[in-house]
Amino acid sequence: MKTIFDRSTREELIGRINSLDENSTAQWGKMNVSQMLRHCTQWDEMALGNRQYKQSFMGRLFGRLALKSMLKDEPLKRNLPTVPAFIIKESPDVAEEKSKWIALLAQYEGFSNDGFIHPFFGPMTKENTGYVVYKHSDHHLRQFGV
């Protein structure tokens, strides 16, 4: 399974991000391209430890089971629910959000957030974090056909 901690995997994601532009359209879901980019930027800020969220009540009940399902070596399903804090209402600048996201991906080279607590899945190992970060990015890039 691919992990964000692998340099070639990050380079592949960056190439896919760079292929997005203002005219990229979603194949499913409600977000436009700029909202997706901001969503992914905020998500990676969380995984890197720059934003903290408490685990939700539903996450405490079902998070471990959902994480187990997410760690299968297959793409994420379409139209999965998101943490409410990651729903983006505005439409930020596409070029700016692409630059921010790419810069955040580079930070995984020196990842040190071993105490990462996902707001639904709960505490995660570094290995699981690497898989989930990749799968989240891949999911949204697939959403926009790249």
Q: With left for phi above 0 and alpha for psi between -120 and 50, is residue 4 left, alpha or beta?
A: alpha
Q: What is the pLDDT of residues 101-122, one digit of tens each?
A: 999 999 999 999 988 999 999 9
Question: Residue 83: what pLDDT?
Answer: 81
Closest among 53, 45, 42 to 108, alpha carbons compared: 45
User: Is residue 106 helix, strand or coil?
Assistant: helix
**Residue ranges of the chain whose pLDDT lies below 70:** none
Closest among 68, 92, 77, 93 to 136, alpha carbons compared: 77
CA-to-CA distance for 82 and 94, rounded, in angstroms? 21
Question: Residue 71: what pLDDT?
Answer: 93
